[in-house]
Amino acid sequence: MLCFLRFTIYVIFELQFVLKKTLLMKSLSLLILSYFLFIAPPDHPNYKNPSKINPGISDTKFSLSLQKKDGKNAIQDWKLGVALYTFHSFSFDRQLALADSAGIKYVEGFSFANAGPLFKDSMIMQLSSAGIEKIKAQLNNKKIRMTSIYLTGGNNKAEWEKQFRLAKQLNVVYVTAEPAIKMWDIVDSLAGVYKLKVAIHNHWKGVSDYWSPDSVLAALKGHSNFGACPDLGHWPKSGINPVEGLKKLQGHIIGIHLKDIAAFNDPALKDVPIGKGAIDFPGVFRELKRQNYKGYFMIERDAEEKPSNLSSVIYEKKYFNNQVKSLK
């Protein structure tokens, strides 16, 4: 390409000499040079024209898609939802109704949820394909999207594959799970087949293999379909500062469970609404902004208030939105 450009310039100057630098030739020269310098794509072996790779995508859109968002812009991609386990004592239809009452439009399901009386109270993971379509209809009726689902998995490939099929039919973005160490390779392979990322979730020390961010990183190594779903309220039970935990997992976080706890190093404690416990949530949000995190936040409560956790979800939604506003 460079040689051809030089040759073109040489020819132009020779023609200028022959035609005694007429005004016409000067205009032609500028036109040709402008084409090669500003319009024609570079003839380079590593250049790939996006319009040829994916017809209909312009160069402008392609270049914009490669621009890295700063923290302020990344916040615009933060999506708040609720993990339906927050309402786990209710059947699926009631869980959706409560989420809808809180004005929530994104939810994370869980495979062992009670599907409801329409399904004779079977667990969602036991439903047929036709049953799953009815679950999707319930979501559509509420205009709620299930973006993720917690999978319990199992001890063999068949059990995991059944739940991956469930997740795929539900059209989730990713799945949350805590696969046994011996199942890492199988789960990673299935995730590739079903084109779903696995966000590794954590409980606390003595209960979960993933209580530490370091153990999550160990699972990610060599497993390209694995990411992380930090449960912020579980880390303090093992003495882990959530801000420091997030720093360790930078670049691997797919989703986040929002949860607070009254004190550190006490696994017996029940969670409290975010902002009312020991976790530095302003610091958490600042750190995620610094990381340019773009993804989902799922409010989750393990503790059960009466008659439901609806009031705390409404409070936490307001708290989250206020925190986000303070970052902009």
Summarised one tens digit per residue, pLDDT across range 249-280 is 999 999 999 999 999 999 999 999 999 999 99
Q: Are 320 and 80 in contact (CB under 8 A)?
A: yes
Assess whether pLDDT exceeds 90 at residue 152.
yes
Q: Which CATH number fits domain 72-327: 3.40.50.720, 3.20.20.60, 3.90.1150.10, 3.20.20.150?
A: 3.20.20.150
Q: What percent of the chain has pLDDT over 90?
A: 77
CA 40 to chain centre: 37
Sheet holding 296-299, edge to edge: 226-229, 197-201, 174-177, 145-151, 106-110, 79-83, 296-299, 255-258
pLDDT one-digit tens code per residue, 39-73: 343 333 333 333 332 333 233 232 223 234 566 67
- Across the range 133-140, mean pLDDT stands at 98
- Across the range 168-184, mean pLDDT stands at 98
Residue 5, pLDDT score: 42
Neighbouring-strand partners of residue 151 = 177
Name the more confident of 76 and 115: 115
Residue 71, pLDDT score: 63
- Across the range 87-115, mean pLDDT stands at 98
Q: Which of 2-16, 189-203, 271-285 has the lowest mean pLDDT?
A: 2-16
- Across the range 129-150, mean pLDDT stands at 98
Residue 40, pLDDT score: 40
Q: Give the chain's mean pLDDT.
A: 85
Residue 154, pLDDT score: 96
Q: What percent of the chain has pLDDT over 70?
A: 78
Assess whether pLDDT exceeds 60 at residue 195.
yes
**156: nearest Cα among 178, 124, 134, 179:** 179
Q: Which of 33-47, 84-98, 175-189, 295-309 has the lowest mean pLDDT?
A: 33-47
Cα dihedral sign, 309-315-317-320: negative
Residue 306, pLDDT score: 96
- Across the range 229-255, mean pLDDT stands at 98
Residue 73, pLDDT score: 73
pLDDT one-digit tens code per residue, 219-232: 999 999 999 999 99
Residue 35, pLDDT score: 40
Residue 258, pLDDT score: 98
Alpha carbons 208 and 180: distance in angstroms, whole number: 10
Alpha carbons 308 and 311: distance in angstroms, whole number: 8
pLDDT-derived band at 34, boundaries 50, 70, 90: very low
Domain with CATH 3.20.20.150 in the chain: 72-327
Residue 328, pLDDT score: 79
Q: Are 223 and 183 in contact (CB under 8 A)?
A: no
**279: nearest Cα among 211, 232, 214:** 232
